[in-house]
Amino acid sequence: MKKVLVTGADGFIGSHLTEELVKSGAEVRAFAMYNSFNNWGWLDSLPADVMRHVEVFSGDIRDPNGVREAMRDVDTVFHLAALIAIPFSYHSPDAYVDTNVKGTLNVLQAARTLDTARVLVTSTSEVYGTAKYVPMDENHPYQGQSPYSATKIAADRLAESFYRSFDLPVTIVRPFNTYGPRQSARAVIPTVISQLLSGAQEIKLGALSPTRDFNYVKDTVAGFLAIARESKTIGEEINIATQQEISIGELAAELIRQIAPDVKIVCDEQRLRPENSEVNRLLGCNEKIMRLTDWKPRYTLAQGLSETINWMRENMKNYKPGIYNL
C-alpha cells in the first residue's frame, strides 16, 4: 500500500485504522464527514506526530462528486463510512439507505472510473442475523433483522456485483462486534462502563441473554491490514472474529465486578429491540481469515476490557451516561 483513503476515518474503527496505517508508513488521506465546525471526530484526538502524516478530506459519502475527488491518486480504499446504530435505523431508515447503500455505490463507481487497485468494503456480522449454526462462516445466510442490517446486506451485494460484473478488486471485510477506546455509548460495552464510572447505582440495559463475539479494536484493525496485504483475498468475503462468545448479561456482570461490585442491572424497555429484530446469537468463524492471511486475535476479552476501562476513565467528558444514546 502506497497511498490509501480511509472513509469514516473520523469514527471509532476508522480513526484506529488511520493511526495504524500511518505507523506502517502508508500515505493516508482521511475522509471525514463535512461540518461547519471543522470537527474531524476522533481524528482530533490523535497525536500531532500522527496527524502531520494525514491529509484530511472533508466531504459527504452520499455525494458521488466528493467521493470521486477524494479517491483520486489513491491505490487502496478502506471504506468504513456508514450509519451503524440499530435503534436509529428504526425511525430513520431512509438515511441508512442514502449513507450505507448509496455511499457504498459511490465508492464502487469511483473505483471503477479511477481504476483503483484495491477496495475493502466494511460489512458487519449483523448481516447474518441470529445464528442458524455456529461458528458462523461466510456462507451463513443473510437475514435483514433491522433496517441497518438490510442496508449493509445491500451494500455487500453491490460490492460483490462490481467484482463479478467489472472485475473490480473488491474485498468484503466483515468484523464481528468491535469494541475499545473511542467507541460511542450506543454500543453495549461503553454504555455499561460509562454508567459505572459515573457512579450510577443501577445500570440500564436491554436484553441480557443475546451473545456476541467481541473483537478488540486493535485486532479488528490488524485484520483489515492483513486482508489488504494479500491479493488472494480479492473477491472474497472475510469474517474478523475471535470465535468466542459471551452473553450481554455475563459481560455486564464482569464489568460490574471490575468497576463497582454493588451495582445492579435493570431492564430499560426503550433499549429492547422488537422481538423479531433482536439478534440472539453471534459467534463467528475465523478459519478463512487465518487461512488466507497471517492474522490471529492477539487480545483476550479481559485485556481488551482493561484497556477500554482505563481509556474511558480518562475520557468521560466525551460521554453522557445519564441518557440513552441511540
pLDDT category at 325 given cuts 50, 70, 90 is confident
pLDDT category at 7 given cuts 50, 70, 90 is very high
**Global confidence as pTM:** 0.97
pLDDT category at 268 given cuts 50, 70, 90 is confident
On the question of a common fold for 3-179+215-240 and 188-212+245-281+301-318, the answer reads no
CB half-sphere exposure, 158, CA atoms < 13 A:
23
What CATH number belongs to 188-212+245-281+301-318? 3.90.25.10
Residue 211 pLDDT exceeds 80: yes
Classify the C-alpha dihedral 86-87-93-96 as positive or negative: negative
pLDDT of residue 47: 97
pLDDT of residue 225: 98
**15 and 182 Cβ atoms separated by less than 8 Å:** yes
Q: Which residues contact 87 (CB under 8 A, 6 or more apart)?
A: 186, 271, 273, 326
For residues 326 and 224, which has the higher predicted lDDT (pLDDT)? 224
Neighbours of 245 (CB within 10 A): 21
**Tens-digit pLDDT profile for residues 140-158:** 999 999 999 999 999 999 9
pLDDT of residue 244: 98
CA separation for the pair 145, 275 (Å, rounded): 10
| Residue ranges covered by each domain of the chain | 3-179+215-240, 188-212+245-281+301-318
Residue 326 pLDDT exceeds 80: no
Angstrom CA distances, 292 to 197, 223, 289, stand at 41, 11, 5
Residue 236 pLDDT exceeds 90: yes
Residue 305 pLDDT exceeds 80: yes
Residue with cell 472485475: 167
Q: Which residues contact 310 (CB under 8 A, 6 or more apart)?
A: none
Q: What number is the average pLDDT over the span 177-202?
A: 95
**Tens-digit pLDDT profile for residues 66-108:** 999 999 999 999 999 999 999 999 999 999 999 999 999 999 9
Taking alpha carbons only, the member of 24, 21, 4, 121 closest to residue 70 is 4
**Tens-digit pLDDT profile for residues 104-125:** 999 999 999 999 999 999 999 9
Residue 1 pLDDT exceeds 80: no
Neighbours of 164 (CB within 10 A): 11
pLDDT of residue 222: 98
CA separation for the pair 38, 60 (Å, rounded): 13
pLDDT of residue 54: 98
**177 and 213 Cβ atoms separated by less than 8 Å:** yes
- Name the CATH superfamily for 3-179+215-240: NAD(P)-binding Rossmann-like Domain (3.40.50.720)
pLDDT of residue 110: 98
Residue 323 pLDDT exceeds 90: no
Q: What is the DSSP string of 15-26?
A: HHHHHHHHHTT-
pLDDT of residue 269: 81
User: For the chain, what is the mean pLDDT?
Assistant: 96
**Tens-digit pLDDT profile for residues 15-64:** 999 999 999 999 999 999 999 999 999 999 999 999 999 999 999 999 99
Question: What are the phi and psi torsion angles at 170 (to 5°)?
Answer: -105, 145
pLDDT category at 291 given cuts 50, 70, 90 is very high
Classify the C-alpha dihedral 47-48-54-60 as positive or negative: positive
pLDDT category at 273 given cuts 50, 70, 90 is confident
Q: What is the DSSP string of 243-309?
A: S--EEHHHHHHHHHHHH-TT-EEEE-GGGPPPGGG---B--B--HHHHHHSS------HHHHHHHHH
Q: What number is the average pLDDT over the span 284-291?
A: 98
CA separation for the pair 54, 206 (Å, rounded): 39
pLDDT of residue 105: 98
pLDDT of residue 295: 98
Maximum pairwise Cα distance, the chain: 59
CA separation for the pair 164, 169 (Å, rounded): 10
pLDDT of residue 270: 82
